[in-house]
Amino acid sequence: MTGLLRILTAAGRFALPPRCPGCGMIVEHDHRFCGGCWSRVRFLGPPWCAGCKAPFAFDRGESALCGPCLADPPRHAGVFAAVAYDELSRRLALDLKYGRRVGIAETMARYMRRSVPDDVDLLVPVPLHRWRLWARGFNQSVVIGAALASSTGVPLDRTALVRIRATPSLRGSGRAARARAVRGAFTVPDRGRVGGRRIGLIDDVHTTGATADAATAALLRAGATSVAVLCWARVLGEVD
């Protein structure tokens, strides 16, 4: 039976070979980028701001803060993004969200895994309002979170955080408009599920941070010890 399984697996790979998630070129393994796409991806990591984890051009020391964090320190424990937001990472996010290519969630999770802080002990996805969930059919943050939970062993609580108010599409909105739109939009129905936990808040793309800030506030009010934002891509502005 094992031999037959190997034959069937090999046949399946021949008929449907692994393809680059960025351009569709045949590659050696699933969820791997081809050389061309790999060279275009900007992976994020240290050196970075001690507060929000925005990347620095050079190492300023472990406790160095960027200008925005000096002016207004975030309540979350940092934004741990796998890659910078650009044409390629944007296309993957849209293919997952609107193209229903749910297999991309595992690709994202594989690259996000290396950035998950060691002390995170519960994954919580940013929720959709029930009407948007009904219209779309799935929550991309839940799908990414499930793949990340599978690869890290950190449990996922799909409904610990709830969106109680529908918000308009935030695409194209500025920081202030986004903050107003999501203020008071989230709640934690059962404090016991997050109380004393170090939360990894799952999202696909971190833009101005308004959604993450509102979700973080709700989780901290419910007794979470800390909230680290875990996402696929981050929109980078000017970092002084």
Show the domain range for 28: 1-40
Q: What is the pLDDT of residue 169?
A: 61
Least confident of 14-28, 79-93, 209-223: 14-28
pLDDT digit string, tens, across residues 127-176: 988 877 777 888 999 999 999 999 999 999 999 999 987 676 656 656 66
- Percentages (nearest 5) of helix, strand, coil residues in the chain: 40, 15, 45
Residues 34, 64, single domain; the answer is no
Residues 23, 74, single domain; the answer is no
Q: Count how many domains the chain has.
A: 2
pLDDT digit string, tens, across residues 200-209: 999 999 998 8
Determine how many CB atoms are found less than 10 A away from the CB of residue 65: 15
Spatial strand order of the sheet with 122-125 comes to 79-84, 226-234, 198-206, 122-125
Least confident of 8-17, 49-58, 102-111, 176-185: 8-17
Q: Looking at residue 134, which CATH number applies to its domain?
A: 3.40.50.2020
Mean pLDDT, residues 114-130 taken together: 94
Task: Please report, rounded to a whole number, the percentage of residues in the chain having pLDDT higher than 90.
Answer: 69
Pairing, β 198-206 against β 79-84: unpaired
Structural domain contains residue 94: yes
Residues 82, 197, single domain; the answer is yes
Residues 23, 88, single domain; the answer is no
Residues 120, 33, single domain; the answer is no
Entry pTM: 0.86
